[in-house]
Amino acid sequence: MSNQTKGMLRNGWSSSVGDYPISGGWTCDGESFIVLDAAGSITVFNGKSGAINWSRDTMHGDGGLATAIHPSGRKFATAGQNGKIMIWNSGESSDGNTIVVGNAWVENLAWSPDGSYLAASSSKRLYVYDENGVVVWDTDNHRSTVATIAWSSQGELATACYGQVTFFDGLSGKINQRLEWKGSLVSMVLSTDGDIVACGSQDNTVHFWRRSTANDSQMSGYPFKPSALAFDQSGTYLATGGSETVTVWNFKGDGPEGTTPLTLSHHREPLTSLTFSSKGTNLASGARDGTIALWILGSGGDSKTVGSAKVVDTVGSLYWRPDGKALAVLDRQGGVTVWRV
């Protein structure tokens, strides 16, 4: 546990996994925290104490790539380089239901908001399965490898790849909308109501669309590609990486066009992860230098740092516990650290 914790971040627990942590997340009740590492191993921690509830080694061949936790918290899915998806019971380590996708890597996973469907992408192909692992529909209607996927609150499934964002009907696979952009999209985030979609691009810009009006705009000036993006729960604030400074755009009313963004300075190296709490406008940021900062955004466009900490290596990803009372961080040396908030 870091001894450099300040402010609202208070000591919780720390542990580690055997390889670089790829992804993870909390179950909805906060009782378990799940980590998939680069070796394809799965570790399920007790969310309160950090004790290991169970673990399984090298379940995805040469490496793990994606994790998705079911909205109920009772199960989760993992995927990796062996072309398989495994669905696990959160409470036990028995072999889960295995879906054989093919020989290509399975790079992205996402459960639908109601937990009825699991989406997965492998190269250019997108799959949607029911809870029993049966394919509902699939498509390869993409120009390039799918970079990321996300479900909207209305049950649409969005994908981002080179030159386009596509919204599919979650039940039928019908294309509802396609948003074109000449560039390689590397990250994507949707506002809570699904109307705004923002993407980070290889050309060091953030591009966004308002789906209801088909209007789009670009935010430039980032020194690096903005791979870290996060909307708050109201869809008002979009936090973006792309430098060592957090840049926050306000989408209230007709914004953010013609407005000056809020900039938050704490880190000395580029940002690697951003996440808003589900409770209010608490924002957590992590960077390559291992620093973590906790911010509260004010309604008047102001902000303040209310907590900070440091881990031993680059922050891989950050995860708020669903109740907003704890923050987990994965670092590149395999560290798993949880602070109480």
pLDDT digits (tens, 9 = 90+) for 75-119: 999 999 999 999 999 988 777 789 999 989 999 999 999 999 999
CA atoms within 13 A on the CB side of 184: 9
Q: What is the mean pLDDT of residues 36-53?
A: 97
For 58-82, how does the pLDDT look when each residue is reduced to its tens digit (9 = 90+)? 899 889 999 999 999 999 999 999 9
For 132-163, how does the pLDDT look when each residue is reduced to its tens digit (9 = 90+)? 899 999 999 999 999 999 999 999 999 999 99
Lowest-pLDDT range of 272-281, 295-304, 317-326? 295-304
Portion of the chain with pLDDT greater than 90, in percent: 84
Q: Is 87 helix (H, G, I), strand (E, B) or coil?
A: strand
Please check the confidence at residue 328 and state whether its pLDDT lies above 80.
yes
Amino acid, single-letter form, for residue 219? M
d(CA 108, CA 79): 8
Residue 29 is assigned to a structural domain of this protein: yes
Residue 333 is assigned to a structural domain of this protein: no
Can you give the pTM of this predicted structure?
A: 0.94
Structure tokens at 156: 């649409």
pLDDT computed for residue 3 by the predictor: 45
Closest CA to 120 of 92, 96, 98, 95: 98
Burial class (CB in 10 A: 0-12, 13-18, 19+), 25: buried
Looking at residue 37, which CATH number applies to its domain?
A: 2.40.10.480
Burial class (CB in 10 A: 0-12, 13-18, 19+), 301: middle
Please check the confidence at residue 255 and state whether its pLDDT lies above 80.
no
Q: Is 120 helix (H, G, I), strand (E, B) or coil?
A: strand
Residue 166 is assigned to a structural domain of this protein: no
Domain of residue 33, residue span: 13-106
Residue 131 is assigned to a structural domain of this protein: no
pLDDT computed for residue 2 by the predictor: 47
pLDDT computed for residue 183 by the predictor: 85
pLDDT computed for residue 208 by the predictor: 94
Residue 302 is assigned to a structural domain of this protein: no
Structure tokens at 198: 């923002």
Handedness of CA 152, 154, 155, 161 (dihedral sign): negative
Structure tokens at 229: 């993006």
Domain count for the chain: 1
Q: Is 169 helix (H, G, I), strand (E, B) or coil?
A: strand
d(CA 167, CA 165): 7
pLDDT computed for residue 150 by the predictor: 98
Q: What is the CA radius of gyration of the chain?
A: 19
pLDDT computed for residue 47 by the predictor: 97
Portion of the chain with pLDDT greater than 70, in percent: 98
φ, ψ for residue 137 (rounded to 5)? -160, 160
Q: What is the mean pLDDT of residues 30-39?
A: 97
Structure tokens at 324: 């907003």
Residue 22 is assigned to a structural domain of this protein: yes
Return mean pLDDT, the chain.
Answer: 93
Query: How confident is residue 4, by pLDDT bands cut at 50, 70 and 90?
Result: low
Residue 283 is assigned to a structural domain of this protein: no
For 159-214, how does the pLDDT look when each residue is reduced to its tens digit (9 = 90+)? 999 999 999 999 999 999 999 988 899 999 999 999 999 999 999 999 999 998 87
List the alpha helices (DSSP H) in the chain: none
Residue 90 is assigned to a structural domain of this protein: yes
What lies within 8 Å, CB to CB, of 190 at 6+ separation is: 150, 152, 158, 196, 197, 231
